[in-house]
């Protein structure tokens, strides 16, 4: 039997349908005529263990004769070794699939092994943490201070030195408090990862956050600074600064007002005195809505969702306004009473950012900031530095601490001070279940005493504070 040729196959017509062709070497072909034309199906006939077998070789013209013969030679070589070609093909297919699966598994293993701090942060933000602001501050702070330094670093390679570098970068800007907060947030994220796959396997050498002692990075006077109290002299000085900035700015010629130091916004002044006289947190105040303030009864209700909780626990808070605190709310109402919020944002459809007042006060104490130039659109002066800066920077939260200390000096019990600050009090669950006295009378008296004390301090000189005038 002569070898088949391509010309011979090309000459086949539909009349040859069913015709069998043969070639030396065990190649047998069957002609098939269909709607797509003439095709030839090839197979290889051979014997294995004395039994006649055949193996498909493919179809012409999809495969060339050269390809078909090469495949026949491969099957022949396999059969000559006493191996079933069909079983060999199945085994080869299984091996190929196993190789592919192994390649995919290795790629997945490497992908897991190379997961970065950014990958962890995104998963933690999605499944591991739920802050009151929808984690907006976490994303902002990590995007600014953490991820640019270690975001692309594989978690398995993260070290104590990497974390220290992040914290020192924050500290270099003079932000001790921010450094402490970043350290706590990073620690919380890594502790969450320690308990979950695949992250815990990437921390086989331990949690690097456990090796970081943020206290060693703090300035020596940091703790003292955070115990900052405003003295009566500083409270009077602050009052005088507010008044002086207004009078100095009003006295400037029209052409010089743009370059002059602007006075402190009346809303910010109100916020300062309300924080001092009610012991409220600045964030709670800036979220306040007028529907929760009763100027006739002198009360302010702070719903639980607007308060700062402890371990996820929050509680409603009722503030009984002293005449002094009420005067500040009335002054504020003259400014913003036409909106839903006591401190409305620019579009007046929501409250201002809860960090607004803290930033405004901090920007006017720039001598305590490590800034080479002013931040865009922000103040940059020392107009609110008190006592020539001898006691350091002051913040809105220091007003809360100062007011609480004044209450203590006035003989108010610690329990009532805690309640005025809306602290979550401990104690037996049975006691909390059965004892429901709201201490309204005691708290009202405490706030009255505090308001009178603040007024006495502010009125102890001949300077009439503009602050106490209620604008009509």
Res. 158: pLDDT tops 90? yes
The predicted-structure confidence for 27-54, as pLDDT tens digits, reads as follows 899 999 988 889 999 998 888 877 888 8
Which residues of the chain does CATH 1.10.150.130 include? 117-225
What is the Cα–Cα distance from 340 to 348, expressed in whole angstroms?
A: 8
Task: Note if the pTM is more than 0.85.
Answer: no
pLDDT at 92: 77
pLDDT at 466: 37
Q: State the Cα torsion 245-249-250-253 to the nearest 10°.
A: 160
Strands (E), 315-366: 317-320
CATH fourth-level superfamily of 1-82: Integrase, DNA-binding domain (3.30.160.390)
The residue with greater pLDDT, 434 or 350, is 350
pLDDT at 426: 60
pLDDT at 471: 34
The predicted-structure confidence for 175-204, as pLDDT tens digits, reads as follows 888 899 999 999 999 999 999 988 988 887
pLDDT at 464: 41
pLDDT at 469: 37
Q: For the residues 443-463, what does the mean pLDDT come to?
A: 89
Question: CATH top-level class for 232-468?
Answer: mainly alpha
Res. 159: pLDDT tops 90? yes
212: helix, coil or strand?
coil
pLDDT at 300: 97
Which residues of the chain does CATH 3.30.160.390 include? 1-82
pLDDT at 133: 79
- C-alpha Rg value of the chain to the nearest Å: 40
pLDDT at 462: 43
DSSP per-residue letters across 287-323? T-BGGGEETTTTEEEE-GGGS--BTTB---EEEE--H
Across the chain, mean pLDDT equals 87
The structural architecture, per CATH, of the domain 117-225 is Orthogonal Bundle (1.10)
Band of the pLDDT at 468, cuts 50, 70, 90? Answer: very low
Res. 100: pLDDT tops 90? no
Res. 355: pLDDT tops 60? yes
pLDDT at 109: 62
Res. 375: pLDDT tops 90? no
Which residues of the chain does CATH 1.10.443.10 include? 232-468
**Inter-residue contact 46 to 76 (CB < 8 Å):** yes
Share of the chain above pLDDT 70, in %: 89
Residue 422 dihedral angles phi and psi, to the nearest 5°: 60, 40
pLDDT at 111: 61
The predicted-structure confidence for 102-128, as pLDDT tens digits, reads as follows 766 666 666 668 899 999 999 999 999
């Amino acid at each position: 039997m002569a070898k088949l040729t391509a010309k011979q196959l090309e000459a086949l017509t539909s009349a040859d349908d069913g015709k069998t062709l043969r070639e030396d070497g065990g190649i047998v072909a069957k002609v098939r005529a269909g709607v797509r034309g003439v095709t030839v199906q090839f197979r290889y006939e051979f014997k294995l263990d004395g039994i006649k077998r055949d193996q498909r070789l493919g179809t012409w013209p999809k495969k060339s004769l050269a390809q078909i013969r090469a495949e026949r030679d491969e099957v022949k070589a396999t059969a000559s070794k006493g191996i079933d070609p069909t079983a060999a093909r199945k085994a080869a297919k299984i091996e190929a699939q196993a190789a592919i699966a192994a390649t995919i598994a290795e790629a997945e293993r490497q992908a897991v092994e190379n997961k970065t701090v950014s990958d962890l942060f995104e998963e933690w933000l999605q499944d591991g943490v739920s802050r009151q602001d929808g984690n907006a501050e976490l994303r902002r702070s990590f995007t600014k201070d953490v991820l640019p330094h270690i975001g692309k670093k594989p978690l398995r390679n993260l070290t104590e030195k990497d974390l220290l570098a992040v914290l020192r970068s924050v500290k270099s800007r003079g932000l001790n408090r921010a450094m402490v907060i970043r350290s706590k947030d990073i620690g919380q994220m890594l502790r969450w990862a320690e308990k979950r796959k695949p992250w815990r396997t990437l921390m086989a050498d331990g949690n690097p956050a456990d090796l970081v002692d943020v206290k060693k990075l703090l300035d020596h006077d940091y703790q003292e600074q955070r115990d900052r109290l405003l003295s009566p002299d500083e409270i009077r000085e602050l009052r005088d600064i507010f008044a002086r900035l207004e009078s100095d700015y009003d006295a400037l010629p029209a052409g010089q007002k743009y370059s002059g130091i602007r006075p402190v916004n009346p809303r910010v002044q109100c916020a300062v005195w309300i924080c001092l006289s009610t012991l409220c947190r600045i964030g709670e105040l800036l979220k306040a809505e007028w529907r929760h303030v009763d100027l006739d009864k002198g009360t302010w209700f702070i719903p639980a969702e607007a308060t700062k909780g402890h371990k996820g626990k929050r509680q409603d808070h009722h503030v009984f306004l002293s005449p002094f605190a009420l005067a500040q709310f009335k002054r504020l109402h003259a400014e913003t009473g036409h909106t839903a919020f006591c401190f409305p944002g620019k579009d007046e459809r929501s409250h201002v950012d809860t960090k607004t007042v803290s930033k405004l006060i901090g920007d006017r104490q720039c001598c305590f900031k490590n800034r080479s130039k002013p931040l865009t659109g922000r103040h940059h002066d020392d107009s609110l530095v008190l006592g020539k800066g001898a006691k350091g920077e002051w913040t809105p939260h220091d007003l809360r601490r100062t007011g609480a200390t004044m209450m203590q000096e006035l003989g108010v019990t610690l329990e009532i001070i805690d309640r005025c600050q809306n602290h979550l009090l401990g104690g037996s669950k049975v006691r909390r279940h059965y004892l429901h006295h709201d201490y309204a009378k005691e708290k009202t008296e405490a706030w009255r005493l505090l308001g009178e004390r603040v007024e006495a301090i502010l009125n102890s000189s001949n300077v009439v504070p503009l602050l106490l005038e209620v604008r009509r």
